[in-house]
Structure 1
Amino acid sequence: MFKLFIVDDEPETREGLKSCIDWANYGIRVVGEADDGKIALERILKEKPDIVLTDVRMPDMGGIELANKLRDLKSDVKIVFISGYDDVAYLKSALKVEAVDYILKPVDLNELDGVIRKVLNIISEEDNRKRLINEMSARLTESMPALRQKFLMTLVRDGIECSEDYGKRMDFLGLKLPADKFYCIFVLSVDDRATALDSLSERDNQLISLSVIKICDELICSTLQGYTFENRRGEYVCILRLDTLEDEDKLYPLVCKIKDKLFEYLELSITIGVGETVHKLENIVKSYMIAYENVKRRLFLGKNRIITMDSLETLEDSEYKFDFTKIQLLVNILKSADKEKVIKSIDDIFNEMSKYKNGDINYCTNICLQLVLTASRQVTELNLNINDERFDEDEIWKKLLTFETLLERKMFIKDYFVAVCGCIAEKRNKKSKNIIRRIKQVIDNRYRENITIKDIAKEVYLSTTYLCMIFKQETGETVNDYLTSVRIKKAKELLMDPKYRQCDICYEIGYTEPGYFSRIFKKYTGLSPTEYRETML
């Protein structure tokens, strides 16, 4: 409910204003009255009304002087003047003290009604505005960590010109990063992010993020000064402020402590890249870029380690150039389905690549992608079906890039090639068996003829050389041996029937010379056709 205070040196006017109007109908309660501005001022400060109805002219302190004193005291009470004087000068004075309105005596109730409604609308609008400002202030306070993170992210990635505006933003965000100091950047990257973080709920990820930042900030503040923020999922940046270059000696012990504590408290394996110490905040981007590149050296050096510029100085510095003819050689080996040679070729490629630990990381990644593409083409061209969800053709590229070291990528690529190699061998085996089946079918159907290997090869659409080679390779016997065994088996069946003469049997199974038939039969059975018949009958 709104509060009203009435000030007038005429008792009749004060009483009339209180009793002739139903203030409750407006949501207003009269909380006090006074016959002079001086007395009213003390009571108004105590009661804190929303509206003051005051006469303009009174003995000790008039309404305009009262209004001025209230404004000097930063009171936002709404003032409406009442006067029996139609005086333009007084009207102007009233407007100067930001009075809401001015009513002449005798008071017209309809006019007063309009003024009161006007005052209430103004109060309502101001309340709404205050409410909105308070809500925005609360939201701003809640958003402060995010705003600070955004600012720091921009600082290390893009840099910021040190200016008056920059100083204001720093003060607003509560950051203490003087322009003319020394700075160093740590970039912390969670190892095996796909395993360690991506499988967690968003709540758990946020808890881990807050914990990492808290641990880092506490350790930094115990040694130096600085801030930690999350640059992207699983990657954090520590900004270290050094007052003098002598503080550099504190950096390595600090980064070791950060790495150890994150593992101790959160069981997180972390690789940390340490940047170069730079003078002036405007050069902090350089330190960040060095730290970020050092973290990426995890590809060659392995995970769960601290990588500094010093640790890279002793590495192979010559430029690595891959011989892409090795990929074609690998394709030929893969097509032959020689698993051992495939494994050796991949080992040789990665052993050479791993020697150049200062090499171009993107270049090495492209080589890995080329190798996967090579095997993938064979899968497509040969219509192979690899029953391993790790090697799903739509996801294999993403899977490869989740591996953070060359060793992990080598093992993944090697497994992929071995799987493709196995599918090729299986398909080749099925194809060979199908060829053997067709060759045997031709022989089984045409053994009665004077058929040759050339005739068989023509019917199965193979060269005689390849036919003989694959038949021997798959069955362990020659085509002629199989043809002879089929004929001898049939001859044994016919010899069991006395109505068949030996010469008839000879012609029936595809031989043209009975003497040759007898020699072949005895060679395979140890008995002549006659002896075999006599024995069996």
Structure 2
Amino acid sequence: MYKMVIADDEAHVREGLRTIVPWHDLHIEIVGEASDGEEALELCGQLKPDILLTDIRMPFMDGLEVAARLREREEHTYIVIISGFQDFRYAQTALSMSVDAYILKPIKMEELMETIHKITRRIERELNTSITVESLQKQLIDHMPVIRDKFLANWLTGYYKSERTIREKLAYVQLLQDEDRPLYAASLRIDDYDQAIAMYTEEHIQLIRFALLNVAEEIVSQSALGAVCSIGENEFGFVLWGRPEEHHALSREVIAALKRFLKLSVSIGIGSKSTILDVDLSYHQAVEALQHTYYTGSNSIVLYEDIQQPNGMGVELANVLKLHHRVISNIKSGLAEETKLTVEEIFDHVRRYQGTTPEYVQSLCIDLLYACQRTLMEFGDDFAIINEHLPNLIQTIHKQVTLDSLKSYMIHVLVKLAESFAGKNNQKHYRVIQTIKDYIQKNYMNEITIHTLSEILSLSPNYISLIFKKGTGETITDYTVTVKMENAKQLLKSMDLKILDIAEMVGYENTNYFSTVFKKYTGMHPGKYRQMVKEQDNV
């Protein structure tokens, strides 16, 4: 039941409102009556009613002043003003003061009940929304470890391109209070992974990964030197701050703990110093450093700086790695020509260093193919989508005898991948657009926000807005208005429906606003449009 206070200086009016109206049918309980404005304000403070039904003109304090005081106190009370015809200017003032409704005297039972019914519906919607928000906030807090893990994985793998975005997310997940200190990234992998898990079931493998992450997180958290996340099947990432010698000691402690508690042999690669915006480069360096465990053996800590090529190759490699990221981004976006140009740029960088061995160039290409493989796996695919297999691709790379032939082969493979993604993206965009249209067609009478669509599609608001505009030539808001107006035009053909009802049926609580939108859409007000339709039917 919703609580209501009635305020009017005439006792017979209060009694009539209390006894004649079937409040129980409207789920309303009259919890108090006031004979003047001061008493009404006091009752609202004590009883916290959902609705105040008040006359405008009362002793000591009129209804408008009561409304103003309630709004100043931010009371969550809906206010319905009762006004005589001679008080119409007061009613206009009431609307400007966020009064929720007004009713003219003499009071009509049907109008009063309809007004109160609309308000109770609004209260119910707000209550349901409040409950939903509170529930989501609780779930968000409960899932903070998962959110932090996902953020770290995205950050380390170069998902974020804006420093502001990274800083805001760091603050949200409560990491890295001193954001300007140098950062390092590290990567951990289980040594000889296939053999290490060969005897276990999938459930046991997942338990091992979970336990490994927990042990590493506890050690790193206690050290206050960084944070840990899961990135792939056998890939765990670290963001580290502090001195390099501290990172080495921390890595040794993690390796020893995993050996002692989980009987796991692991190795850790550590990248070079970076900033917030390019920590992904440091991470890719750490991943590359791990490739050298072939020479250093199990339970190793490999620093990227220790594996640098001579003749300043490390500086050039940093540029190549950035271009690797760009290739992957272009492939995922289905940009074939841009992929080709970026691969050519990679080989231009390599060509500047004539002393680079063929094996080293081949390793750069193989690293790029592995990066492509990880990308394909994210989408549930592999190289079979272009009728290739990774081992065969690697064999073909080793068979290339010149830099130009290797470049041509890499362009051939990677452009085919980009073209395959282009087809997938077009299909995906079509499905997303159709889903949005179907949802709007079915729910146009309710409030539809871009954030609602974002949650339904599990895609970012900016992304779905962009592909909808690109695919249809209009914004989601414009399309929603079109659907509302076309349905309104059909409803206006029914002469039994009031324009007020039609406005509400297509999702507008304010009839005047509905009329404004309708005129902008059709060039005429709803009433004039209805008259035109009627005249056409009579011809």
Give distance in 1, aligned partners of 2:286 and 2:129: 48
Question: What's the secondary structure of 1:158's corresponding residue?
Answer: coil
- Which of 232, 254, 264 aligns to 1:268? It is 264
- Which of 281, 284, 291 aligns to 1:286? It is 281
Match of 2:8 in 1: 8
Q: 1:348-367 deviations in whole A, cap 9, x for unaligned?
A: xxxxxxxxx9964965999x
Q: 1:143-166 deviations in whole A, cap 9, x for unaligned?
A: 544443333223222275564444
Give distance in 2, aligned partners of 1:314 and 1:161: 29
- Specify the code of the residue in structure 2 equivalent to 1:6: I
Match of 1:227 in 2: 227
The 5-angstrom pairing of residues 116-131 of structure 1 reads: 116-131=116-131
Give distance in 1, aligned partners of 2:94 and 2:201: 64
1:271 Cα deviation (Å)?
Answer: 1.3
Question: What's the secondary structure of 2:231's corresponding residue?
Answer: strand
Q: TM-score, normalised by structure 2?
A: 0.54
Give distance in 1, aligned partners of 2:178 and 2:162: 9
Give distance in 2, aligned partners of 1:365 and 1:26: 73
- Contact conserved, 1:178 with 1:281, CA < 8 A, in 2? no
The 5-angstrom pairing of residues 29-428 of structure 1 reads: 29-158=29-158, 160=160, 163-176=163-176, 178-197=178-197, 204-242=204-242, 247-278=243-274, 280-309=275-304, 312=307, 360=360
Structure 1: 5+ residue stretches without partners: 319-356, 367-395, 402-537
Give distance in 2, aligned partners of 1:50 and 1:210: 50
Give distance in 1, aligned partners of 2:186 and 2:17: 73
- Specify the code of the residue in structure 1 equivalent to 2:104: L
Structure 1's consecutive aligned runs of 4 or more residues displaced over 6 angstroms after TM superposition are none
Q: 1:474-520 deviations in whole A, cap 9, x for unaligned?
A: xxxxxxxxxxxxxxxxxxxxxxxxxxxxxxxxxxxxxxxxxxxxxxx
What is the total number of aligned residue pairs between the two structures? 331
Give distance in 2, aligned partners of 1:157 and 1:178: 22
Question: What's the secondary structure of 1:189's corresponding residue?
Answer: strand
1:291 Cα deviation (Å)?
Answer: 1.1
- Residue 290 and residue 177 in structure 1: after superposition, are their counterparts in 2 closer, same or farther (change >3 A)? farther
Question: What's the secondary structure of 1:29's corresponding residue?
Answer: strand
- Contact conserved, 2:248 with 2:301, CA < 8 A, in 1? no
- Contact conserved, 1:159 with 1:284, CA < 8 A, in 2? no
- Residue 7 and residue 277 in structure 1: after superposition, are their counterparts in 2 closer, same or farther (change >3 A)? same
Question: What's the secondary structure of 2:107's corresponding residue?
Answer: coil
- Residue 225 and residue 302 in structure 1: after superposition, are their counterparts in 2 closer, same or farther (change >3 A)? closer
- Residue 83 and residue 310 in structure 1: after superposition, are their counterparts in 2 closer, same or farther (change >3 A)? closer
1:179 Cα deviation (Å)?
Answer: 4.4
Structure 2: 5+ residue stretches without partners: 314-356, 367-388, 395-539
Q: 1:4-30 deviations in whole A, cap 9, x for unaligned?
A: 121222222222211112211111212
Identity, % of aligned pairs? 29
- Contact conserved, 1:216 with 1:238, CA < 8 A, in 2? no
- Residue 204 and residue 170 in structure 1: after superposition, are their counterparts in 2 closer, same or farther (change >3 A)? same
1:258 Cα deviation (Å)?
Answer: 0.8
- Residue 113 and residue 286 in structure 1: after superposition, are their counterparts in 2 closer, same or farther (change >3 A)? closer
Give distance in 2, aligned partners of 1:174 and 1:276: 24
- Specify the code of the residue in structure 2 equivalent to 1:174: Q
Give distance in 1, aligned partners of 2:172 and 2:248: 32
Give distance in 2, aligned partners of 1:72 and 1:204: 60
Deviates more, 1:76-85 or 1:135-144: 135-144
- Residue 43 and residue 397 in structure 1: after superposition, are their counterparts in 2 closer, same or farther (change >3 A)? same
Give distance in 2, aligned partners of 1:265 and 1:142: 27
- Contact conserved, 2:163 with 2:277, CA < 8 A, in 1? no
- Contact conserved, 1:80 with 1:103, CA < 8 A, in 2? yes
1:80 Cα deviation (Å)?
Answer: 0.7
Q: 1:162-197 deviations in whole A, cap 9, x for unaligned?
A: 644443333233332654211122211022333545
1:261 Cα deviation (Å)?
Answer: 1.1
1:292 Cα deviation (Å)?
Answer: 0.6
- Residue 165 and residue 275 in structure 1: after superposition, are their counterparts in 2 closer, same or farther (change >3 A)? closer
Question: What's the secondary structure of 2:282's corresponding residue?
Answer: helix
The 5-angstrom pairing of residues 496-535 of structure 1 reads: none
